[in-house]
Copies of this chain bind each other. A is one copy, B any other.
Amino acid sequence: MAERTSSADLRRLILDTTRHLLVEKGYADLSMRKIAKAIGYSATSIYLHFENKDALFHALIEEGMERLLAELKQAEAAHPGDPVARLEALCQAYVHFGLENPEYYEIMLLLHPAHMARYPADKFRRARRNLDVIEAALIDGVNQGVMQATNTRVSTSVIWAALHGAVSLLNAKRVDIRIAHKDLIAETVRHTLRGCCPSLER
C-alpha cells in the first residue's frame, strides 16, 4: 500500500484523511492510530511528516484559512464595482465554504480555546485576513454611501457572527429539520445585508 505514495503525497494523504475522519468522528474522537489505520500506514509514519498531533491539526487549520481566503477573494473578484453585490457574494461564499467543508470549519472555528492556546499566535493573526476582505467591502460601501456603519470593525464582526452562527448551527444539525438549509442561508444573507444597507428593498 505504501508503494506509490511519494513523501509529499503521503503528507497530503494524511491531511485529507484527517479531514474526512474529522467530519465522521469529531475532533475528540480522532487519534493518530485511527488516522494511521485509515491511510494504511503505521502510526509512526505520521510523525515523519508532522511533529505531533498538534502540528498536524495546525497545518490543517492553516490550510483551511488559506482555502477560505481563496474562495472569498474569488467571490469578490466577480463584483469589482458594486460593494453591496460584493458583500453579498462574500457572505454567500463564507457560508458555502463552511457548509461544504465542515471539517475545516470545525478545526478552524469550533475548537475549544484551551486547544487553540497551543496554536501559534502569529498564525492566528493570519486568520483575521479573512475578515479584512469583508471589512474592505464594508468600507467601500460606506464611502460610496450605500452602506452604513458606525464602526466598520465592529460591523464586520457582527456580520461574521451572523454567518458563523448559521453555519455552525446547520453543521451541528441544531436547526429545526423542517427548515431548508438554503432558506435559512438566503434569509441570513438578506438579514445581514439589510442590517448594513438601509436603502435596501429586498
Contact = CB atoms under 8 A, between A and B. Distances in A.
A183 B28 CA distance: 33
Closest CB pairs A-B (n = 10): A165-B165, A26-B112, A161-B165, A191-B195, A28-B28, A162-B162, A161-B166, A164-B165, A26-B114, A158-B187
A70 interface: no
Given A28-B115, A114-B24, A176 B162 contact: no
A173 B113 contact: yes
A172 interface: yes
A88 B144 CA distance: 30
Interface string A181-202: 0011001101110111000000
Contacts of A188: 158, 161-162
B163 A176 contact: no
A175 interface: yes
Interface residues of A, number: 51
Given A155-B187, A184-B158, A110 B113 contact: no
Contact of A160 (B164, B169, B192): B169
20 contacts: A26-B113, A26-B114, A29-B114, A110-B112, A111-B172, A113-B172, A116-B173, A131-B176, A151-B187, A153-B179, A154-B187, A157-B184, A158-B162, A158-B187, A158-B191, A161-B184, A161-B188, A162-B162, A162-B188, A194-B194
Interface string A101-122: 0000010011111111000000
Nearest to A128: B176
Contacts of A187: 150-151, 154-155, 158
A91 to B, nearest CB: 12
Given A164-B165, A168-B164, A183 B151 contact: yes
A180 to B, nearest CB: 8
A25 interface: yes
Contacts of A173: 113, 116
